[in-house]
Amino acid sequence: MNKEIIAVAGTGTMGGGIAQMFAENGFKTRVWDVNPTFTAKGVENIRKRLSKSVEKGKIAATDAETVMSRIIPTDSLGAFADADLVIEAIIENENAKFKLYRQLEAVIRSTAIIGTNTSSLSVTGLSRQLGSPERFLGLHFFNPPTKLKLVEVITTSALKPEVLPTVNALLTRCGKQPVTVKDAPGFIVNRLLLPFINEAAKLVDAGVACPADIDTAMRLGTLHPAGPLQVADLIGLDICRDILEKLANALADPHYRPAKSIVDLVDAGKLGRKSGQGFYNYSS
């Protein structure tokens, strides 16, 4: 068992996965959500995922139990007082995050590092709400955090120099590959991926090619494992639209505005795989 203690605020899709990932790598991991029922649900989801892995023979039942024993749910943020690293993975809402940071700073140690998993808010903007912005950075995990190796580590000009190597070492010990990125809209992945998806959707709008041919062209012509419109359907077209709107606003560049086909599909409730229809039909 590692000596550092991890705390995760928010036990939804990302927070639950991040907590599971740290526990799987031998860290005592405290978890909290805004409501004890949500915390319990998050922990239950971790248990279910581990049970599936046991059923598939990927891990031993005793190992799954060991992982679960490292996950310690709490109803009170006061329990985060002994954490070395606190990861915030609550809803993408500035005011909710600001409120949580105020509560956290009142209870955590002065040496504790706080990382936000935000995918679209300015890390610098969030850091300005903290009394100690020098220990705050972005830790952008990818879904599912138990499987995807990449973590974008987002720095601000206020960050204390020793925080970055400490965090990178922790992530590396968990088998993650951190990449360092200065705070900027979309960081690296979304800044490159979303315009790529958007251009593909604009080709559909202009009648240049159908989605299947666009995806085939990019898969076979550039060795992408999936085409841009398949990826868009996987991410969720509502999420793609929101990120594109945020990029357009943050970069003051209308070129990032979502293509008509993305907007029309979202307005029609066709959000991609999760709704059964997007650029492709998944009902069969």
Ligand X SMILES: NC(=O)c1ccc[n+]([C@@H]2O[C@H](COP(=O)([O-])OP(=O)(O)OC[C@H]3O[C@@H](n4cnc5c(N)ncnc54)[C@H](O)[C@@H]3O)[C@@H](O)[C@H]2O)c1
Site residues (vs ligand X, CB under 6 A):
10-15, 33-34, 38, 89-92, 96, 100, 117-119, 140-141, 143
Least Å distance, CB 190 to ligand X, is 9
Nearest residue to the partner ligand X, using Cβ:
12
The rounded distance, in Å, linking the Cα atoms of 58 and 68 is 16
Clarify whether 140 is annotated catalytic: yes
Burial group, residue 1, by CB count within 10 angstroms (0-12, 13-18, 19+): exposed
Least Å distance, CB 169 to ligand X, is 22
Annotated catalytic residue within 122, 140, 198, 261: 140
Clarify whether 105 is annotated catalytic: no
Annotated catalytic residue within 53, 152, 198, 261: 152
Bridge pairing between strands 113-116 and 85-88 = parallel
Bridge pairing between strands 136-141 and 150-155 = antiparallel
Clarify whether 88 is annotated catalytic: no
Which is closer to ligand X, CB of 22 or CB of 141? 141
Judge whether 228 and 214 are in contact, CB under 8 Å.
yes
Annotated catalytic residue within 25, 53, 119, 198: 119
Least Å distance, CB 33 to ligand X, is 5
Which is closer to ligand X, CB of 155 or CB of 203? 155
CA 282 to chain centre: 25
Least Å distance, CB 37 to ligand X, is 9
Backbone phi, psi, residue 216, to 5°: -60, -45
Helix orientation angle between 189-205 and 260-267, rounded to the nearest 10 degrees = 90
- As annotated, the active-site residues are 119, 140, 152, 190
